[in-house]
Amino acid sequence: MMGVRLNEEAKGVFIISVTPFRDDGALDLDGVGQLVDFYIERGIHGITILGMMGEANKLTAAEAEAFALRVLGETRDRVPVIVGVSTPSLAAMRELTSKVMDHGAAGVMVAPTPGLRTDDQVFGYMETVAETLGSEVPLVYQDYPQSTGVALSVPTWKRMVDALPSLVMLKHEDCPALAKLTRIRQGEMAGEFRRVSILIGNGALYYPEELIRGADGAMTGFAYPEMLVEVLALMSAGKVDAALDLFDAYLPLVRYEQQPGWGLPARKEVLRRRGAIASSRARYPAPSLGTEGLAELDRLVSRVHRRLEQVAPDHARAIA
Amino acid sequence: MMGVRLNEEAKGVFIISVTPFRDDGALDLDGVGQLVDFYIERGIHGITILGMMGEANKLTAAEAEAFALRVLGETRDRVPVIVGVSTPSLAAMRELTSKVMDHGAAGVMVAPTPGLRTDDQVFGYMETVAETLGSEVPLVYQDYPQSTGVALSVPTWKRMVDALPSLVMLKHEDCPALAKLTRIRQGEMAGEFRRVSILIGNGALYYPEELIRGADGAMTGFAYPEMLVEVLALMSAGKVDAALDLFDAYLPLVRYEQQPGWGLPARKEVLRRRGAIASSRARYPAPSLGTEGLAELDRLVSRVHRRLEQVAPDHARAIA
Amino acid sequence: MMGVRLNEEAKGVFIISVTPFRDDGALDLDGVGQLVDFYIERGIHGITILGMMGEANKLTAAEAEAFALRVLGETRDRVPVIVGVSTPSLAAMRELTSKVMDHGAAGVMVAPTPGLRTDDQVFGYMETVAETLGSEVPLVYQDYPQSTGVALSVPTWKRMVDALPSLVMLKHEDCPALAKLTRIRQGEMAGEFRRVSILIGNGALYYPEELIRGADGAMTGFAYPEMLVEVLALMSAGKVDAALDLFDAYLPLVRYEQQPGWGLPARKEVLRRRGAIASSRARYPAPSLGTEGLAELDRLVSRVHRRLEQVAPDHARAIA
Amino acid sequence: MMGVRLNEEAKGVFIISVTPFRDDGALDLDGVGQLVDFYIERGIHGITILGMMGEANKLTAAEAEAFALRVLGETRDRVPVIVGVSTPSLAAMRELTSKVMDHGAAGVMVAPTPGLRTDDQVFGYMETVAETLGSEVPLVYQDYPQSTGVALSVPTWKRMVDALPSLVMLKHEDCPALAKLTRIRQGEMAGEFRRVSILIGNGALYYPEELIRGADGAMTGFAYPEMLVEVLALMSAGKVDAALDLFDAYLPLVRYEQQPGWGLPARKEVLRRRGAIASSRARYPAPSLGTEGLAELDRLVSRVHRRLEQVAPDHARAIA
């Protein structure tokens, strides 16, 4: 089976999928179809699995593979699927990559391994990754220093883009990062280096600014993928104020879901309420929201709905 | 000169003051009166200076002292002033503390020094700090692990509150921290340990949730102190929805100012536009906002005003 | 198959085994028998595999399991085998543990997962680990904050020892740690908490001091296990000066092998020269020693031999 | 007063001076003359003050200045003095630098400020430092990532050496660092960039290897400066084995003093015993050696003496 390969032209919303567990903590493979359909029905343009928000590092190797193959099977090429394969073991990275590419993945995402320090080390690592995975495997660089501790400079990015043809996408979630995004787009426009797709992360907290600065879409996991999709559509149509009205209506919840650690159970709870997954269970370590947290979600969601009725009544009806 | 000393009953908005520089980078002592008046006219209940957002670590010891004494002089006991005195040198901490307390400061704020690891080390450090500064100096603990790398557990907090009578306030800006705030309030209500004042930070990004969970106010530096003040007043009056309407109107800007690194020049630029300071200059290292950043601020502020006209027209007129 | 289970009485040298690769980077399973025999013939009392020095995080899950089972098969209960099972995924930890315990491992070693901060978090993690693995699996706590970023306090150690009966050993490689070792031994002697086995790490750089302060042996990977064994024997026999003479003779090489990053290829090269492994290959990332590094090893080994002929001629002959 | 300025030709042992305190913790300015004489009488070629081992960050700004001026006064140009001026505040760095250069310092040492990440950031910081301090102030770059978290790559070093003429020395204490030292010397010999002085740190733990790879001497603080001086002299005279015999005799103590945290009180205690300082007091936080630690020092020093009598009887007499 061979799906479409990811390339530099990629645009849109690649939703970061949660990994569904049953209430007993077991992987909920049977729930994967429902989750994939939920996302696709919300208009997303791609799915990214086994990211950090996807609790990839809490799975066994066998579970990760089983989940990935199930997602690929359920997606049936309706949208491209990117698989997070970051791990300190290049052998394990190659193994998982080979398996998912054989089953139709569009590409893989790699975050630089913690401990890299100088520009040369970052470049050297990604060069080794690209060689290890093979030139035919489209590669997404996840720039997430808040988690990895590894910073990406624009000169290193240029060097990687020049040397590694399989590198087709930047997942941009450095923070602060607005200036870097602008510098990369300027460098591309000046012909200094190849243009690649840039999708933004950070829970979409800076989504409007990043789109205006030239991002091609989002790769993040907000529980209302409709917002991510429609903000992009409105921005692309030049309707900036409408896009901002929609974004701002959701912002209190965006901000809440973006809290480190706390955001994952919050997001899973909203997805459960929306019917995307059967259980909001997250694997250890994950905080319990408690009655206060659940009340906060109630209030946030209720206010988002109320606000949407004012600024985007069609949208409000669609998500009701 | 002796001002009112801070105690456990403290409530309200203690604005984190920026430190004003001239365009050439020199400390703008002559601008201090204008800045202090700006804050006080916005209704704040206290001022905190020489915090991290106050660029304390970019000043010489002499500049820090001169700035603190000028703020104390200009404030003239209209509101209490808390002085950040964190530094690896206990001798320097004692020196600055002694000077500012002699000139009317209400208390000092200390963040645990980087490198502390175990609960015993955190407690031991604060015990040493309290002994070094003397029991008559009211102490604020700044819980900001994103910057210090030092985590505070509830058992350690209980231990400090029990052993250190001069500890009267927690600046709460751990993230995620909602659960910790609730656990501390529960412990106090159950009589497990002394109740102290809790003011929240993190750029007020989680302000409503933290107030509902029992915070006594805010100690942060948003460029519209009016929002911080009025949200607290509305919440205290039980007008939760009105408070949230006001908060949500400002949230796009709150979020923008809260970006690490990027937030400081953004905040200084808004304060400059509002007439609080003469120059938005920040000392190295500080990014330049660039034309894109300035345009983002224009759009954000303009939209905040527009939204306020809808949800809080009186407030909108007041800040116009 | 069931081997002897590790318990609190464990003493001796548990050598940290390297993981042998072929020159092409593939796991050298066929070389495992030779390596195990090499270690056992040098008099070691146990073997620890899949530690950090064992490049555990560069293996696939299948490779790690295959290597562990091969070591267990080749060891044939001649000495106990401890298996490092640290991984962020509790599910993967349980899976590997279950497999190796079924095949005769004596116990497993776990380092706290990076990101734990407070005493409660460290305890909570190890409590969860102990529950996940089951009470019948002997557990070694690896205290290695230089790598994990997680510090262990004596109160937390007491709490773990009290609550977790399966915790039978501390691998002590905090640095500085001499005072902590003494405090733990004092606490045990005062009856404050259960006495467990303490084996030391840090490449044996502080081995004599740690033995005198009460350690029960070493769990580290020096390329001359004979030194570790004989220093312990001499110390146990009260021959402190003879023990120190032997240790000091090797110290220039001990120090060299203990360099972070650089130590692994150095150790593998010495082990290759000694016939323990067929190739000194380490997996990426591992520095090349270069001609300078190889010359340094030549000089160091030659001088160790010369010195041993003076202070321990029998020992010198034995390793010749 | 104007002393000799440091330049790229610097060779020898620049001893890292401790900062002497009285038993009550006050700065012991009256003891400075004795300490400076102690060092100079041992044959050192320069003195470095206010380094990390010098407890610089535990002093007030006034204490740091007073200590530096006293050292300069007592040294009276017998040897050059380098002053550590690292601090997050460029204004404070400029102030201290200006003062000590006016009083005869030979140059200043700066470690990159924590938080720098990419090569560009490291370069940009040092460029700003060099501009801030002025081109006439000789600059030493302290490459100590174990403490600063900032890594230095060879390309960044080249870039700094090319752009910053006042940069005349590298204090080399990255770890592992042997390969980097070799690469820098190779780059210089190939004419790729300007040759500067390289002095080594890390408590001299890798001193012989670093000298053989091309270091010009040491900048570290071992309590027997005679060893540092004589090892260098022997190496320079081509007497490698004699140099190694001497180094190895001291190595057990070198290793002991090099323990993070623990090394400082150990070193101060030995210096006190040797009459260099009146009190071994270190400022908080500093562990107490306890009876065990003092006994360890007794044994180590006694064995060093015994060994020296065998391998270097003249040296043994000189230090007796």
Average pLDDT over all residues of chain D: 96
On chain A, the residues whose CB falls within 8 A of the CB of B174 are none
Burial-class residue B24 by CB neighbours within 10 Å (0-12, 13-18, 19+).
Answer: exposed
D 212-241 residues with CB below 8 A of C? Answer: 212-213
Residues in chain C: 320
Give the nearest chain C residue to B157 (CA atoms): C118
User: What percent of chain A has pLDDT above 90?
Assistant: 94
The full DSSP string for chain C is: ---PPP-TT--EEEEE----B-TTS-B-GGGHHHHHHHHHHTT-SEEEESSTTTTGGGS-HHHHHHHHHHHHHHHTTSS-EEEE---S-HHHHHHHHHHHHHTT--EEEEPPPTT--SHHHHHHHHHHHHHHH-TTS-EEEEE-HHHH-----HHHHHHHHHH-TTEEEEEE--SS-HHHHHHHHHHHHTTSS---EEEE-GGGTTHHHHHHTT--EE----S-HHHHHHHHHHHHTT-HHHHHHHHHHHHHHHHHHTSTTTHHHHHHHHHHHTTS-S----PSS----HHHHHHHHHHHHHHHHHHHHHH-HHHHHHH-
Beta bridge partners of D107: D82
Residues sharing a CB contact under 8 Å with residue A317, sequence separation 6 or more, in sequence order:
none
In this predicted structure, the answer to whether residue D2 has a pLDDT above a threshold of 90 is: no
Q: Is D112 helix (H, G, I), strand (E, B) or coil?
A: coil
Report all structural domains of chain A as residue ranges with CATH numbers, in order of start. Answer: 12-237 (3.20.20.70)
| A58/C128 CB distance under 8 A | no
Q: Judge whether D133 is closer than 8 Å to chain B, CB to CB.
A: no
**Per-residue pLDDT, C1:** 46
In this predicted structure, the answer to whether residue B1 has a pLDDT above a threshold of 60 is: no
Residues A72, A210: Cα–Cα separation, whole Å: 29
Residues C308, C249: Cα–Cα separation, whole Å: 6
**Per-residue pLDDT, B4:** 84
**Per-residue pLDDT, C175:** 80
Residues C168, B40: Cα–Cα separation, whole Å: 61
Q: Judge whether C296 is closer than 8 Å to chain D, CB to CB.
A: yes
Give the nearest chain C residue to D307 (CA atoms): C245
Q: Judge whether D127 is closer than 8 Å to chain B, CB to CB.
A: no
In this predicted structure, the answer to whether residue C52 has a pLDDT above a threshold of 90 is: no
- Find which of B298, B299, B304 to mutate to test the A interface (most A CBs within 10 Å of its CB): B299
Residues in chain A: 320
- Find which of B116, B117, B146, B174 to mutate to test the C interface (most C CBs within 10 Å of its CB): B117
**Per-residue pLDDT, B2:** 55
Is residue C243 within 8 A of residue C208, CB to CB? The reply is: yes
Q: Judge whether A91 is closer than 8 Å to chain C, CB to CB.
A: yes
Is residue D106 within 8 A of residue D113, CB to CB? The reply is: no
| D118/A119 CB distance under 8 A | yes
For B149-163, the pLDDT digits (tens) are 999 999 999 999 999
For A2-12, the pLDDT digits (tens) are 568 999 999 99
- Find which of C116, C118, C143, C152 to mutate to test the B interface (most B CBs within 10 Å of its CB): C118
Residue B285 to residues B88, B299, D86, D98, D124, Cα–Cα distance (Å): 20, 26, 15, 21, 10
Beta bridge partners of C47: C15, C81
| A262/B179 CB distance under 8 A | yes
Amino acid, res. D301? V
- What does the pLDDT average to over B87-94? 96
Chain centroid to Cα B293, Å, comes to 24
Residues A297, C34: Cα–Cα separation, whole Å: 60
**Per-residue pLDDT, B53:** 86
**Per-residue pLDDT, A195:** 98
**Per-residue pLDDT, A3:** 66
Instruction: Say if pTM beats, i.e. exceeds, 0.80.
Output: yes
Beta bridge partners of A47: A15, A81
Is residue C139 within 8 A of residue C165, CB to CB? The reply is: no
| C91/A128 CB distance under 8 A | no
Chains that touch B (3 or more CB pairs under 8 A): A, C, D
C98 vs chain B: nearest CA distance in angstroms?
Answer: 32
Q: Judge whether D178 is closer than 8 Å to chain C, CB to CB.
A: yes
B155-168: burial string, b at 16+ Cβ within 10 Å, e else: ebbbbbbeebebbb
| B155/C120 CB distance under 8 A | yes
| Per-residue pLDDT band at A1 (split at 50, 70, 90) | very low
> Out of B58, B89, B128, whose CB is closest to D91?
B58
In this predicted structure, the answer to whether residue D226 has a pLDDT above a threshold of 80 is: yes
Q: Judge whether A117 is closer than 8 Å to chain D, CB to CB.
A: yes
**Among residues D291, D113, D172, D313, which one has the least CA distance to residue D230?**
D313
Average pLDDT over all residues of chain B: 96
In sign, the C-alpha dihedral spanning D172, D174, D176, D181 is negative
**Per-residue pLDDT, B3:** 66
Q: Judge whether A114 is closer than 8 Å to chain D, CB to CB.
A: no
For C208-230, the pLDDT digits (tens) are 999 999 999 999 999 999 999 99
Beta bridge partners of A275: none
**Among residues B75, B80, B74, which one has the least CA distance to residue B11?**
B80
**Per-residue pLDDT, C3:** 65
For B105-137, the pLDDT digits (tens) are 999 999 999 999 999 999 999 999 999 999 999
B192: its two tokens: 């497990």
Residues D298, D256: Cα–Cα separation, whole Å: 12
C151 vs chain B: nearest CA distance in angstroms?
Answer: 6
Instruction: Provide the 10 A C-beta neighbour count for residue B109.
Output: 24
- What does the pLDDT average to over B27-33? 98
Residues A263, A65: Cα–Cα separation, whole Å: 25
Amino acid, res. B78? R
**Per-residue pLDDT, D3:** 66
**Per-residue pLDDT, D283:** 96
Which residue carries 């509002």 as its tokens? B274
**Per-residue pLDDT, A215:** 98
Which residue carries 């307390």 as its tokens? B101
For A70-125, the pLDDT digits (tens) are 999 999 999 999 999 999 999 999 999 999 999 999 999 999 999 999 999 999 99
C166: its two tokens: 């399966």
Residues sharing a CB contact under 8 Å with residue C295, sequence separation 6 or more, in sequence order:
none
In this predicted structure, the answer to whether residue A317 has a pLDDT above a threshold of 70 is: yes
- What does the pLDDT average to over C202-211? 97
In this predicted structure, the answer to whether residue A184 has a pLDDT above a threshold of 90 is: yes
**Among residues B34, B42, B85, which one has the least CA distance to residue B61?**
B85
Q: Is D134 helix (H, G, I), strand (E, B) or coil?
A: coil
- What does the pLDDT average to over C185-209? 97
| Per-residue pLDDT band at D169 (split at 50, 70, 90) | very high
Amino acid, res. A35? L
| Per-residue pLDDT band at D4 (split at 50, 70, 90) | confident
**Per-residue pLDDT, D53:** 86
| Per-residue pLDDT band at A177 (split at 50, 70, 90) | confident
Q: Is D169 helix (H, G, I), strand (E, B) or coil?
A: strand
Beta bridge partners of B46: B14
| Per-residue pLDDT band at D1 (split at 50, 70, 90) | very low
| Per-residue pLDDT band at D291 (split at 50, 70, 90) | very high
- Find which of A60, A95, A133, A264 to mutate to test the C interface (most C CBs within 10 Å of its CB): A60
The full DSSP string for A23-83 is: TTS-B-GGGHHHHHHHHHHTT-SEEEESSTTTTGGGS-HHHHHHHHHHHHHHHTTSS-EEE
| C155/B121 CB distance under 8 A | no
The full DSSP string for D188-226 is: HHTTSS---EEEE-GGGTTHHHHHHTT--EE----S-HH
- What does the pLDDT average to over D67-79? 97
